[in-house]
Chains A and B, each alone.
Chain A
Amino acid sequence: MQFDSSNLSLRRLLLSLGVLAMLSLLPGCGKRETLVEAADRDQVLLVGNGTEPQDLDPDVVTGVQEFHIMMSLLEGLVSEDPVDLHPVPGVAESWDISPDRKVYTFHLRKDAKWSNGEPVTARDFWEAYKRILTPSLGSEYAYMHYVVKNAEAYNTNGITDFNQVGYKVIDDHTLQVTLNNPTPYFLSLLLHHSWYPINIRTVAKYGDPYQRGSKWTRPGRYVGNGPFVLTQWRVNDVVEVRKSPTYWDRARVRLNGIRFYPIESLDTEERAFRAGQLHVTLEVPLSKIDYYKTNYPNLIKIDPYLGTYFYRVNVTKPPLSDKRVRQALAMAIDREALVKDVLKGGQLPAFNLTPPGTAGYTCRTHLQENIAEAKRLLAAAGYPDGKGLPTIELLYNTLESHRTIAEALQQMWKTQLGVDVRLVNQEWKVYLDTQRSLNYEICRGSWIGDYDDPNTFLDMWLTGGGNNETGWSNPEYDRLIAQAAATADPQQRLEVFQKAEAILMDETPEIPIYFYTHVCLQRPELKGWYPTILDNHPYKYVYLETNADAAVPLK
């Protein structure tokens, strides 16, 4: 060929261009110090935190991820014990409870300060509670305050004078709270972010404090009273907090800072953990649980979590309006096999609704897994061996794990009872809409406790309750839940719950399936981070301790 010689120069040119391009990629390459190693040195915790926070205003947000960040920025009257989350003194150094257990008097410590140096006073709590209950703010968690006298009336425009609500500022350091009923879980409630104080002067500087849209939560503006202060917030990127110089218990705080990464994809999060970018992840992808359990059992943590996975049954539509059909379905599920072979995350099979050990309560009524009895019930309802029973529709929101569970149950019901089930999945908001309008037959549901008490699992099934969504109504059940609320003796109160849950189990408007666990990945140098049923970890007790054995070569 005639241009062979010039080919050579072209080849050389292209080659050198290619090499140049590769070289330009290289700077900074080579085995480097990972982000975690650098953070260990600086005592900065790197946390995978799911989704981007909607806001960091405790009176407006609803999500768990937001709560995790705000726990570092704000502190309520009581604070949580790092091991079992029982309420310990926070801004209030002590409290008195009246004999009828309806009036709580909190004594605030004098050295509690806001991050701008102002003292934290009883007034700040009062202002925050007024704000969250003001209807125009539209706070979705205002209902947490409904245990307080007249709070519900104020929130729903029943009364307009906030002085009638059960909050009273006695002096700068004394706050009195009057409740509707003796509420044994009241102090636990106070741990929730809806009870955090607010520096109303700061909020007012950047917008109307009683409307949405105030821009006070940006770095440089945020005034909190917690162990950390907000230093950086890059949307979809990172939220960074640093140790607060004004926090009253700053001597105990060992971390210099925390970086919360909003990593939405579980796979991305797991990879970030493996590449040494996170100390702790929010969750673990289902497909990776076995791998870690086998290869890195010291890195994967499986802890109980205060939540139940169940199916709602629409009791307004035949054939499921027949209690016997619902019971038969509930009895024919092999929950043991489901958690062991399908879920693999150490979940507990659920034979009732309230997770065992919730504030000392373990339900005595147990659902029987009994195929023969299930068949008998189904036959008694007029459908021997499932004959004559129309195909039942099972609805779930589009997600891989829900589909897997639904398929397993579909199979069990078909083989054990001869019941045909059709699976239907809908996108989240559509699913919520369908569920709310009772346009389903059976539908996936779950409930994570708002606080450590059986009430949070049982009061949702009240007639017309916002989260009932099954059409189920039982006057005796309603009466028992109301009775429990009014019972002062803790033991007696739990007995009332036993009776109530027994009715719920018998009537079966919901089919419990399993109790949640929380599965996450954790580096060994993370200390002071205990398994807690709400997956909350008060950061002032957390620290990082590296030693040679702790180094994990992860490949």
Chain B
Amino acid sequence: MLRFIFKRILEAIPVLFIVATITFFLLKIMPGGPFDTERPMPPEVKKAIYAYYGLDKPAWQQYAQYLERLVLHGDLGESQKYFGWTVNELLGGSLPVSVELGIEGMCFALFFGLIAGTVASLRKNTAGDYIPMSVATFGICIPSFVTGPLLILVFAIWLGWFNSSGWFFPRDRILPAMTLGLYYMAYISRLTRGGMLEILNQDFIRTARAKGASEWRIVAKHSLRGGLLSVVAFLGPAVSGIVTGSIVVEKIFEIPGTGRFFVNAAFDRDGPMLMGTTLVYAVLVVAMNLVADILAVWMNPKLRFE
């Protein structure tokens, strides 16, 4: 197991290196620079700014310098949009917010998704199956930029229970977490239903029932572990997706997370910021996939020997 984990971590290094390289040079190819504004600046001013940020050097030299600082000092550089802020500072402030939102969204998705999926599988082809599954289909189809404003309209503006945006009080987490988690909830419920149905039809379940085990015991003890394998496989990409995909939700709800930096950095041509966010997200995706793989092996003994 340890060898497996170690091998996967080693494999991640070239992946991250390639991501960094491609991002860096794509950014250099893009037309426009971080200090191009509607009102062009005198060449002397531009020269001074470019010299400060090292943009006057050839691209390969900038690249080498960037990698050197990153690898040796963990330094992601200085933002070229937000003067006087380093990328480390800005990510250090915003990443916990995005991660918190992601975890809350995931908890929401898992809690309701698992329940809905399990219920649907036990009530196959009845209203208890059709209703949650239709809701799930809606959840998959309706994008968050529709559900978000709808939830705000009902719960913040009509009922006045929540703030419509912001990230100040604990209750400000609820609507964004719901908006973010809805899609994944729907997906998880469908996966759970499928997985559970497959297991519930197997011989050992019939044996358990014949022996008089309670329905609760059958679900919790005998079926869930097998039925959730596909959910667990989905969780890796889902968690990284939920954190990186929170961009829209962050915008709708005005949440000070990393997603806004990620999108704006591209529009602003803020090189260090774009590199920083891309790398953080890449690390996240790689790490989450690794965790999902480990979980899958742990849950499915068959895989352990491969």
Q: Which residues of A contact B (CB under 8 A)?
A: 2-3, 6-7, 9-10, 13-14, 17-18, 21, 25, 27-32, 34-35, 52, 54-55, 57, 60-62, 135-140, 142-143, 155-157, 207, 211-217, 234-237, 261, 263-265, 267-268, 271-272, 274-277, 427-430, 432-434, 436, 466-467, 554-555
Contact = CB atoms under 8 A, between A and B. Distances in A.
B147 interface: no
A57 B82 CA distance: 11
A466 B219 CA distance: 72
Contact of B84 (A3, A52, A215): A215
Interface stretch (B158-166, B284-292, B296-304): B158-166
B306 interface: no
B115 A429 contact: no
B44 interface: yes
Interface string B13-39: 000000000000000001111011111
Nearest to A467: B39
Nearest to A273: B164
Contacts of A427: 267
Contacts of B260: 236, 264
Most buried by A among B41, B152, B164: B164
Given A35-B163, A235-B256, A217 B84 contact: yes
A138 B52 contact: yes
A6 B41 contact: no
B234 interface: no
Contacts of A275: 152, 156-157, 160, 163-165
A466 B82 contact: no
A263 B254 contact: yes
Interface stretch (B167-175, B189-197, B225-233): B167-175
B222 interface: no
Interface stretch (B66-74, B135-143, B208-216, B237-245): B208-216
B94 interface: yes
Contact of B157 (A60, A213, A274, A433): A274
B223 to A, nearest CB: 12
B122 A10 contact: yes
25 contacts: A2-B209, A3-B215, A10-B122, A21-B112, A28-B170, A136-B52, A138-B52, A155-B44, A213-B78, A237-B166, A237-B167, A265-B254, A268-B164, A271-B156, A271-B164, A272-B163, A272-B166, A275-B164, A429-B31, A429-B33, A429-B269, A430-B30, A432-B32, A432-B37, A467-B39
A405 B119 CA distance: 53
Contact of B82 (A28, A55, A271): A55
A175 to B, nearest CB: 25
Given A6-B216, A52-B82, A432-B37, A268 B42 contact: no
A235 B163 CA distance: 19
A443 to B, nearest CB: 12
A433 B216 contact: no
Interface size class on chain B is: 35 or more
Contacts of A2: 209
Given A217-B84, A235-B82, A429-B36, 9 more contacts: A21-B112, A32-B161, A143-B42, A155-B44, A261-B254, A268-B254, A271-B152, A271-B153, A430-B32
Contact of A268 (B48, B160, B252): B252
B83 A213 contact: yes
Interface of B: 30-33, 35-42, 44-49, 52-53, 78, 81-85, 90, 93-94, 111-112, 115, 119, 122, 149, 152-153, 156-167, 169-171, 174, 209, 214-216, 219, 251-257, 260-261, 267, 269
A153 to B, nearest CB: 11
B44 A135 contact: yes
Contacts of B165: 263, 268, 271-272, 275, 277
A466 B40 contact: yes
Nearest to B111: A21
Nearest to B46: A138
Contact of A29 (B45, B82, B112, B161): B161
Nearest to A21: B111
Contacts of B39: 140, 466-467
Contacts of A216: 84
Nearest to B34: A429
A156 B48 CA distance: 10
B42 A235 contact: no
Contacts of B153: 271
B171 A6 contact: no
Contacts of B171: 27-29
B167 A138 contact: no
A138 B37 contact: no
A408 B227 CA distance: 57
Nearest to B267: A428
Contacts of A14: 115, 119
A236 B41 CA distance: 27
Contact of A211 (B30, B31, B52, B167): B52
A264 B251 contact: yes
A6 B214 contact: yes
Closest 3 CB pairs of A and B: A429-B32, A6-B215, A138-B48
A211 B165 CA distance: 37
A555 B254 contact: no
Nearest to A206: B84
Contacts of A17: 115
B52 A433 contact: no
A28 B83 contact: no
Contacts of B41: 138, 140, 466
B35 to A, nearest CB: 8
B52 A213 contact: yes
A136 B50 CA distance: 10
B94 A236 contact: yes
Nearest to B42: A156
Given A10-B219, A271-B157, A433 B48 contact: no
Contacts of A9: 214-216
B256 A237 contact: yes
A235 B78 CA distance: 15
Contact of B83 (A57, A135, A157, A555): A57
B48 A7 contact: no
A268 B37 contact: no
A35 to B, nearest CB: 7
A143 B152 CA distance: 45
Contacts of A10: 122, 215-216, 219
B169 to A, nearest CB: 7
B9 to A, nearest CB: 32
Contacts of B47: 135, 138
Contact of A157 (B44, B115, B209): B44
A136 to B, nearest CB: 5
A54 B81 CA distance: 6
Contact of A25 (B31, B156, B166, B174): B174
Given A155-B42, A236-B260, A274 B164 contact: yes
Nearest to B217: A6
Given A21-B112, A275-B157, A555-B157, A54 B83 contact: yes
A467 B41 CA distance: 10
Given A3-B209, A9-B214, A32-B160, A212 B49 contact: yes
Given A212-B49, A277-B165, A555-B157, A268 B253 contact: yes
A137 B164 contact: no
A276 B31 CA distance: 42
B93 to A, nearest CB: 6
